[in-house]
């Protein structure tokens, strides 16, 4: 009897609760859309030939902060002095991967090595420096013409010198190049075995401070932007997509760490490489640590191919196609927007 009177509001209550439930489900669904799944934790092993240089800072940070382990990757680091040496380790089969500047990579590719870049981890327009002795009559770029200049053959230091000469409309052949290992560059300049050196940081800074007031330095941001890349054998990269993705995720995490905690990252890298923080600070500012693969990398590599042929590093011939030597798949899978190579 009274049920009849209550039925209308009861219906309203029903409709309202129905609405509330629908809304709750919808909101829950939306919220769920924001959550991402955790990565699977199957342990994989990789070894990497790693230069004890700040250029490979992202790898050092990721290793120090345990990012590789977090991704389920057991990374064995084989330390080397510089990138060219790292690639040699890779080619000797002593490491699965290597990091190096893109110059030695381009040379190896032109020599026919089946290598590929998994990602670039750094770009810097001011890394390379020409340090010269004033007492050899050098005060302007033009004065470098005809001088003995120390370089490490087949490295970014040599390529920078070439680009620097072109930038200043000097014939590159006019310099006499002296091949020196990175560890002897500062010493040789101080000794006077060479009039100038072209090298990367922190070797350049060591040379500068060795010469003191006798030093004159040249940089040129509009001639060459150096890269630091993670390299592996093409076959290896294709055969281990899981491990490479884990590696890239860890590097991206290190990049994020460097972006949000720059000072901490600097101290961490300086401590690990046993370089004075204050010494590192000036060139560290110019380091742009970004994990990516860009269309412009192809232009840089092609430029270097021209240089390599002109310098006689490789026989003259057509500029090779570097595109197959960029391993895009892994980074596309992990962070597609970081691949700007035209596809």
Partner 1 sequence: MLAAVGVIASAVWSTYAEVEDARRQRRDASDLARRLTSLKLVTFEYALIRQERALAQYREISNRIDGMFAASRFQGPAQQEIVARLRSGRTLANQIFDELAAAFQGETPNRADLEPSRNFEAQLLSRLSILQQDNLSDVFRLTDLTTEQSNAAQQRLLVVILSGLALIALITLGVSWLIHRDVLVPVARLQQAAQQVAAGNWTTEFGAGGSDEIGQLTRDLGRMTQALRDALARVERSNQELAALNRELEAFSYSVSHDLRAPLRSMDGFSLALLEDYGVRLDDEGKDFLRRIRAASQRMGHLIDDMLSLSQVTRSELRPEPVDLGEMARGIAEALGQRNEGRKVHWQIDDRLTVRADQALIHIAMQNLLDNAWKFTSRTPEATIRVGMREQDGRQAYFVADNGAGFDMAYADKLFDAFQRLHHAGDFPGTGIGLAIVQRVLQRHDGAVWAEAAQGKGATFFFTIGQPEHEHRRPGHPAG
Residues contributing to the site for partner 1 (CB under 8 A): 1-2, 5-6, 9-10, 12-13, 16-17, 19-20, 23-24, 26-27, 30, 163, 166-167, 169-171, 221-223, 225, 294-296, 299-300, 302-303, 337, 340
CB of 340 to partner 1, least distance (A): 4
CB of 306 to partner 1, least distance (A): 8
- Tell me the two tokens of residue 58: 């992202």
Nearer to partner 1 by Cβ, of 264 and 340: the residue is 340
CB of 88 to partner 1, least distance (A): 28
Q: State the Cα–Cα distance between residues 229 and 100, nearest whole angstrom.
A: 6
Q: State the Cα–Cα distance between residues 301 and 341, nearest whole angstrom.
A: 13
CA dihedral 298, 233, 98, 226 (to 10 degrees): -10
Nearer to partner 1 by Cβ, of 66 and 262: the residue is 262
Nearer to partner 1 by Cβ, of 31 and 37: the residue is 31
DSSP labels for 142-166?
A: GGGTT-EEEE-TTSHHHHHHHHHHH
Q: What element of type H or E holds 276? A: none
Nearer to partner 1 by Cβ, of 1 and 37: the residue is 1
Cα separation values, 173 from 162, 280, 307, Å: 9, 33, 11
Q: Which residue has the tokens 């890298």?
A: 269
- Tell me the two tokens of residue 48: 């990497």
CB of 210 to partner 1, least distance (A): 31
CB of 174 to partner 1, least distance (A): 10
- Tell me the two tokens of residue 224: 């060459």
Nearer to partner 1 by Cβ, of 82 and 297: the residue is 297
Q: Which residue has the tokens 């890269």?
A: 227
Name the nearest CA neighbour of 129 among 210, 184, 201.
201
Nearer to partner 1 by Cβ, of 194 and 252: the residue is 252
Cis peptide preceding 142, ω within 30 of 0: no
CB of 34 to partner 1, least distance (A): 9
């Amino acid at each position: 009897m009274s049920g009849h009177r209550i039925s209308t509001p009861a219906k309203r209550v029903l409709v309202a609760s129905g609405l509330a439930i629908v809304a709750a489900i919808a909101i829950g669904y939306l919220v769920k859309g924001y959550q991402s799944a955790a990565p699977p934790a199957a342990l994989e092993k990789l070894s990497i030939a790693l230069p004890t240089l700040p250029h490979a800072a992202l790898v050092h940070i990721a290793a120090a902060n345990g990012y590789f382990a977090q991704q389920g990757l057991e990374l064995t680091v084989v330390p080397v002095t510089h990138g060219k040496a790292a690639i040699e380790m890779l080619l000797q089969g002593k490491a699965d991967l290597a990091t190096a500047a893109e110059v030695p990579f381009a040379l190896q590719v032109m020599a026919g090595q089946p290598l590929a870049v998994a990602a670039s981890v750094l770009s810097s327009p001011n890394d390379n420096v020409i340090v010269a002795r004033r007492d050899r009559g050098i005060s302007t770029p033009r004065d470098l013409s005809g001088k003995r200049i120390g370089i490490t053959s087949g490295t970014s230091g040599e390529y920078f010198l070439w680009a620097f000469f072109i930038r200043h409309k000097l014939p590159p052949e006019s310099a006499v190049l002296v091949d020196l290992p990175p560890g002897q560059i500062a010493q040789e300049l101080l000794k006077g075995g060479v009039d100038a050196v072209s090298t990367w940081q922190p070797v350049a800074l060591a040379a500068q401070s060795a010469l003191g007031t006798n030093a004159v330095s040249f940089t040129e941001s509009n001639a060459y932007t150096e890269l630091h890349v993670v390299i592996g054998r093409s076959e290896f990269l294709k055969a281990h997509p899981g491990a490479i993705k884990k590696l890239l995720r860890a590097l991206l995490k290190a990049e994020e760490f460097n972006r949000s905690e720059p000072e901490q990252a600097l101290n961490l890298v300086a401590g690990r490489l046993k370089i004075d923080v204050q010494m590192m600070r000036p060139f560290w500012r110019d380091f742009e640590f970004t994990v990516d693969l860009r269309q412009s990398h192809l232009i840089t590599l092609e430029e270097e191919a021209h240089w390599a042929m002109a310098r006689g590093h490789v026989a003259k011939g057509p500029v090779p196609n570097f595109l197959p030597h960029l391993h895009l798949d892994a980074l596309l899978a992990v962070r597609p927007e970081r691949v700007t190579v035209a596809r």
